[in-house]
Structure 1
Amino acid sequence: MPAKPDPSADAILGALKAVLPGLAATFGRSCEVVLHDYRVPERSVVAVAGEVTGRHVGGAMSEIGLSVLARGDEAEPILGQLTRTPSGRLVKSSTLPLRDARGRVFGALCVNLDATALQQVGDLLSDLLGGTAQPTPTTFTDDVEQVLDAVIRAETPGDPAALPRADRLPLIAALDRRGVFRLRGAAPRVAARLGVSRASLYADLAECRRNPDHRTEPTA
């Protein structure tokens, strides 16, 4: 992803900020629309309309946003993904990458619909909801530290600081795949959680990028 997208990116963000309230109002109080600027990924939220996930301007992206960021200019829309917030809400989320005049991804428009009430109805009328799709736990928060912790927890069940290097390398490779190291300041944060120095983390990350054999799941 380019460090300096085309200036058209700012014009696109400005235009979308003006329509966010109308989009959210169209779907009522169960809808939230969030606008992200990936040029500042650790504070990507630049506008919010509606109240579903508790997001605020200046807040962090979720794991969904990280996955889009990780794909860079190859990112595609993620439509209708069922997620579960830490508070237990069932949310149907769609994430639409935004491209500047040169076709480069620089942000995203996200629509979150609170589907909790529909789930309750669906428990009685399961055929209408199409069966057994399970929501993915997702951390919607303004704090990038919480998102980082959630991604690490999803990749390893135990204490990451207790992992031997053989298991730490697959974890670092998984975090790299999920876009964690695109966040400014992520490396020292990850190093602290893994109980290693920043230099050791950079060496391990370089090893993971050289050697695809490390791209497996941690064993502990």
Structure 2
Amino acid sequence: MSEQDAILDALAPVADGIAATLGSFCEVVVHDFRRPEQSVVAIAGSVTDRTVGGSMSEIGMGLLARGDDAEDQLNYVTRTASGKLVKSSTMLLRDSGGSVFGALCVNLDVTALGQLRTLVGELADVGTAAETPTTTFGDDVDAVVDAIVDEHQLRLNKPWTALSREERLDLFRSLHARGVFAVRRAVPQVAARIGISRASAYNYLAEIREQGAS
């Protein structure tokens, strides 16, 4: 067994212990970044409705894209597609050589606390509502990739067919920076999503990677 596999195996009971300690509103996930399409190797609790063999989220893809330069993401808040308000910390796993190969994530469902805060704010007549980014959690990595692509379209506020070449390059640059293309099948999936050929998609990706290397 490799060092990385041994660390992942050792963390499974740790995940169970943390979830048991914090209760039913807690979920602890162990991720193996070496297989982003099925990165969930252990999970305790149920906040994001994922199971073992599920994929990483957009946040995990972003960390994957940064490689060994990635840093722990602590105490951040997102909202699931079903409306749950989730407070999370993602702690990277490194081997003895310093290489990032996975993560231990703690997710707390704080929906009820958020609702209470809003109610108190309204009663006190102060503004407490804040825009919370929605994160796609799921066992299907294709849904995560689609959500990231669609988020980009919402920012552009125009149909894919209306994008200029530079706007398409900017899309591929953004997706590359967020780790999307570490996922197998992501290039043809993005091509189909935005209505271009696979050849064009691979050309865009090659161009932005060449720009990044220059």
TM-score under structure 1 length normalisation:
0.87
Cα deviation code 1:182-210 (max 9, x no counterpart): 11221121122122222211211122233
| Paired-residue identity, % | 56
Name the SS of the counterpart of 1:92 in structure 2.
strand
Give the alignment's Cα RMSD to 1 decimal.
2.0
CA distance in 1, matches of 2:118, 2:128: 10
Give the corresponding residue for 2:3: 8
Alignment partner of 1:138 out of 114, 135, 140? 135
Distance 1:101 1:38 in 2: 16
Distance 2:184 2:29 in 1: 21
Q: Does 1:117 align with 2:115?
A: no
CA contact (8 A) 1:9 1:101 kept: no
Kept after mapping to 1: 8 A contact 2:94/2:101: yes
Please give the alpha-carbon distance, in whole angstroms, between the structure 2 residues aligned to 1:67 and 1:162. Answer: 27
Matched residues in 2 for 1:28 and 1:151: separation? 31
Matched to 2:16, the amino acid is: P
Distance in structure 2 (CA, Å) of the matches to 1:42 and 1:117 = 31
Distance in 2, matches of 1:110 and 1:116, equals 18
Partner of 1:65: 60
Conserved in 2, the CA contact under 8 Å of 1:94 and 1:110? yes
- Out of 29, 35, 55, the position equivalent to 1:34 is 29
Paired amino acid for 1:73: D
Asked if residue 188 in structure 1 is aligned to residue 183 in structure 2, the reply is no
Per-residue CA shift, 1:26-83, capped at 9, x if unaligned? 1100000011001111110111100111011111111111111111111111111110
Name the counterpart of 1:197. Answer: 197
CA–CA separation in structure 1 for the residues paired with 2:51 and 2:192 = 27
Alpha-carbon separation, structure 2, partners of 1:70 and 1:20? 25
Matched to 1:151, the amino acid is I
Matches of 2:82 and 2:62 in 1, distance apart?
22
- Structure 1: 4+ residue segments shifted above 4 A: 130-133
- The one-letter code matched in structure 1 to 2:5 is D
Q: Distance in 1 between matches of 2:152 and 2:108?
A: 27
SS in 2 for 1:108: strand
**Shift in Å, 1:8:** 0.9
Q: Which of 87, 98, 117 pairs up with 1:103?
A: 98
Q: Distance in 2 between matches of 1:45 and 1:159?
A: 34
- Using the alignment, how far apart are the partners of 1:131 and 1:58 within structure 2? 38
Query: How many residue pairs are counted as aligned between the two chains?
Result: 205
Structure 1 residues 161 and 109, CA gap change in structure 2 (3 angstroms): farther
Q: Is the 8 A contact 2:37 2:55 kept in 1?
A: yes
**Aligned-partner residue type, residue 195 of structure 2:** G
Q: How many Å separate the matches in 2 of 1:165 and 1:111?
A: 40
What is the match of residue 146 of structure 2? 149
Corresponding residue for residue 178 of structure 2 = 178
- Aligned counterparts of 1:7 and 1:133: Cα–Cα separation in 2: 44
d(CA) in 2 for partners of 1:103, 1:161: 44
| Distance in 2, Cα, partners of 1:133 & 1:22 | 33
Task: Write the deviation string for residues 123-146 of structure 1: whole angstroms up to 9, x where unpaired.
Answer: 24459xx95653211001111111
Q: Go from structure 1 to structure 2 and tell me whether the alpha carbon gap of 1:24 and 1:184 turns closer, same or farther (over 3 Å shift).
A: same
